[in-house]
Amino acid sequence: MLLNGLAAGCIYGLVALGFVLIYKATEMVNFAQGDLLMLGAFMAFALIEHYGLNYWAAFLGAVLFMAVFGYLLDTVILRQVIGQPQFAVVMLTIGLGFLFRSGASMIWGTETRAFATPFTDGVTRVGGFVIADVNLSIVCGTAILCGLLYAFFRFTRIGVAMQAASQNQLAAYYMGIPVKMIFSLVWAISAGVAAVAGILLAPVSLIDVTIGLIGLKAFAAAVLGGFGSIPGAVFGGLVIGVIEQFSGIYLPEGFKDVAAYIVILLVLFVRPQGLFGNIGRKRV
Amino acid sequence: MRFFFKTDYNQDINLFRDGVDRFWYGLLIAVLLAAPFLLEDFWLGEISYVFILAIVGIGLMVLTGYTGQVSLGHAAFLGIGAYTHSVLLNLGVPFWISIPAATLLSALIGALIGRPALRLTGVYLAIATLAFAFIIEQILIRWEHVTGGFKGFPVPRPEVLGHSMVEDVPFYYITFGALVLAVLVALNLLRSPTGRAFVAIRDSEIAAQSMGVNLAAYKTLAFSISAGFTGFGGTLFAHKIGYLAPDAFNILLSIQLLLMVVVGGLGSLHGAIFGAIFVGSLPQLIAILRDYLPEGIARQPGLEPGIFGLILVFFILFEPLGIYGRWLKVKLYFSLFPLYKKATFKRQKTYTKSERNR
């Protein structure tokens, strides 16, 4: 029960992580994050079903493909709107999201798809509790990914360069950091994370082209955690997932669908900086 | 080339710039008034749909184009207007009370949601309005004894001067009158101190604040006025679609509305109307386009949103000023011919603007 919520929360957290990575680095909000998740899941589906790869190879392939896709997305399209009002970015990513969705429905059709994973239908017993393997895989996958990302940002040169570029673009240029490439790499990581989330999600909720709507709920997670905080995003995701699960049980029908949005509004009205964020006065 | 000299302060706020403008707009109104005698009923229906969209577009333009606030939730206000109007009609309230009532209710809800939401800036506001729209949609679904739930209900058809309001010709004149009213209200609003304050907020919040513009009050006002216009458009929209169901007012509609102001050209009422013409005629264009595309692509259900997305992306990347901006460029090209310089409208090199404190 709680674990179901946590598993759903992990997915929200991962998608929110993608938002936050991009927002921290480039101050763009990517409304197409959910659609990147959808593309990642479909990519894995295509690799497994059409090319006969095994799960792990397809996992790697799909994540790599999406990373390259994200990199190109930034270099070709999103770099054009740097410096334009945030509105332009919002509209642009919404437009891109529609494009991805319609492209995916043209390639793979609008039916619901599923692919076999090593976790499907398995259960694990931990101290008397029965836990579905899919949920376990999501929680573990998220934990591993977060660990990897933490290590990447903390210990590698590129990771540190990314932090620098997101803190102060100009200073980063002065230090000889190729900021443009770093931004594209951030997009690549973010798209890769979305792909991981998509593939982990696939055995739980079957994939179809509207799966990207989960991205909108992940906004709740990102907002709850404070839009600029990476641990905040994951924590926010977990909280949203659990809240959603419990409101499905204890509250009247219908609340489960909007619980995430009610949380967004409450957080924005009461504490707009989120739990972990900090927004100061704007400098003139 | 025609030179325009200002000799009087009133020229800054006149509705028409000069006699030439007055002539062309007069002609346009005359043609639109005569349209029912010239066109078939089908086209009248389409044109009145464009009029309704234009009313909503003006509402959104006041908020997004003039005050600089993004709303991804305007379909909700459209829905509130449409539902309030129809429910009141069902209760036996005459339409000339229910339309203002629905407009006022939308404006009120706009103010209520706007007041806290407008402490937020930029993208947070977009997210908050998005969340609001989802909640309203869910309310429309769940509040069954009023809204009819998923199934919805047919919109009643009041009579005007002995004709049913939804017949093509009366409906055409009603929507046309409503649009003219909306345009006049918007024009008068925008040349008043209130409208100037909106533009000041759009251009720089800090500068506006320094000049004594109360940010919270004016943003709330803009939100509320915008919601009011949208609700007003919603009452007519209800008659246009004839049957209300919650899925008519989903996120896709909000985005279509935004597409309308972006494609039309942000920051001009012309833009709202151009955008409405564009979005209103798009389904027809796509239907025509389907005939020319290869069978495999034309049958795809995802084609329409895809084309929407594509248009949005192209306009943001290549013509951020929208159709109205393109129109201005074309006009300038001919009036300066052959001396037009491409650099006149060249975008300056821009850098990332930070909204964070550093």
pLDDT at A43: 87
The residues pairing with B243 across neighbouring beta strands, listed in sequence order, are B154
B354 pLDDT more than 60: no
Domain that includes residue B185, residue range: 39-342
B163 pLDDT more than 60: yes
Bond from prior residue into B283 cis (ω within 30 degrees of 0): no
The residues pairing with A126 across neighbouring beta strands, listed in sequence order, are A129
pLDDT at A220: 81
CA B279 from chain center: how many Å? 11
Dihedral angle sign, alpha carbons of residues B165, B166, B169, B171: positive
Which residues in chain B have Cβ-Cβ distances shorter than 8 Å to A253? 142
Separation of alpha carbons B179 and B53, rounded Å: 9
Rounded to the nearest angstrom, the minimum Cα separation between A66 and chain B is: 20
Query: Which one, of B51, B77, B69, B188, lies nearest residue B122 by Cα?
Result: B69
Separation of alpha carbons B244 and B250, rounded Å: 12
CA A199 from chain center: how many Å? 12
What the block records as the tokens of A57 is 């190879």
Least confident of A260-274, B15-29, B44-58, B92-106: A260-274
Distance spanning both ends of chain B, measured CA to CA: 49
- Beta-carbon contacts of residue A217 (< 8 Å; ≥ 6 apart): A12, A240, A244, A260, A261
CB nearest A81 (choices: B126, B316, B356): B316
Q: Which of B:258-317 have CB within 8 Å of A?
A: 258-259, 262, 297, 300-313, 316-317
B117 pLDDT more than 90: no
pLDDT at A282: 47
Which of A73-101 are b and which e, b meaning 16 or more Cβ less than 10 Å from the residue's Cβ? Answer: bbeebbeebbebbbbbbbbbbbbbbbbbb
C-beta separation of A137 from A119 below 8 A? yes
| Domain annotation covers residue B166 | yes
Helix (H, G, I), strand (E, B) or coil at B243: strand
pLDDT at B104: 94
pLDDT means per 10 residues in chain A (284 residues)?
Answer: 78 85 81 88 85 83 91 87 76 87 80 71 68 79 87 87 81 85 90 88 77 80 78 84 81 75 80 62 47
Q: Is A188 exposed, middle or buried (0-12, 13-18, 19+ CB in 10 A)?
A: buried
pLDDT at A121: 65
pLDDT at A172: 83
> Pick the residue with more confidence: B46 or B149?
B46
Max mean pLDDT range (A44-53, B114-123, B300-309): A44-53
Q: Residue ranges of the alpha helices (H) in chain B?
A: 19-38, 41-60, 74-90, 95-117, 122-142, 144-147, 168-190, 193-203, 205-210, 215-241, 251-264, 269-292, 295-298, 303-318, 322-336
pLDDT at A284: 45
What the block records as the tokens of B66 is 């003039």
Separation of alpha carbons A94 and A87, rounded Å: 11
Dihedral through CA A231, CA A234, CA A238, CA A239, nearest 10?
60
Separation of alpha carbons B352 and B358, rounded Å: 14
The number of domains in chain B is 1
Number of H helices, E strands in chain A: 11, 2
Q: What are the start-end ranges of the E strands in A147-274?
A: none
| Domain annotation covers residue B204 | yes
| Domain annotation covers residue B5 | no
pLDDT digits (tens, 9 = 90+) for A138-196: 888 888 888 888 888 888 888 888 888 887 777 888 888 888 888 899 899 999 988 88
What the block records as the tokens of A52 is 């006969």
B17 pLDDT more than 80: no
pLDDT at B183: 93
- Beta-carbon contacts of residue A246 (< 8 Å; ≥ 6 apart): A5
| Domain annotation covers residue B131 | yes
pLDDT digits (tens, 9 = 90+) for B78-91: 999 999 998 898 88
Residue A223: closest CA among chain B residues belongs to which residue?
Answer: B124
| Domain annotation covers residue B358 | no
pLDDT at B358: 37
Contact call for A99 and B306, based on CB within 8 A:
yes
The residues pairing with B115 across neighbouring beta strands, listed in sequence order, are none
Separation of alpha carbons A136 and A120, rounded Å: 11
Q: Which of B:107-146 have CB within 8 Å of A?
A: 116-117, 119-120, 122-124, 126-128, 130-132, 134-135, 138, 141-142
Backbone torsions φ then ψ of B243, nearest 5 degrees: -145, 120
Which residues in chain A have Cβ-Cβ distances shorter than 8 Å to B72? 90
CA B60 from chain center: how many Å? 5
> Pick the residue with more confidence: A161 or B287?
A161
CB nearest A272 (choices: B119, B306, B352): B119
Contact call for B127 and A269, based on CB within 8 A:
no
| Domain annotation covers residue B22 | no
Q: For residue B189, give the amino acid letter.
A: L
Backbone torsions φ then ψ of A113, nearest 5 degrees: -120, 160
| Domain annotation covers residue B14 | no
Strands A129-132 and B159-160: unpaired
Any idea what DSSP says for residue A129? E
Q: Is the ipTM of this complex over 0.95?
A: no
Query: Which one, of B239, B303, B308, B316, lies nearest residue B279 by Cα?
Result: B308
Rounded to an integer, the average pLDDT of B217-240 is 92
pLDDT at B297: 64
Q: Which long-range contacts (C-beta less than 8 Å, at least 24 apart) are formed by B2-5?
A: B2/B335
Backbone torsions φ then ψ of B207, nearest 5 degrees: -60, -40
Provide the CATH number for the domain around residue B72: 1.10.3470
Contact call for A87 and B300, based on CB within 8 A:
no
| Domain annotation covers residue B348 | no
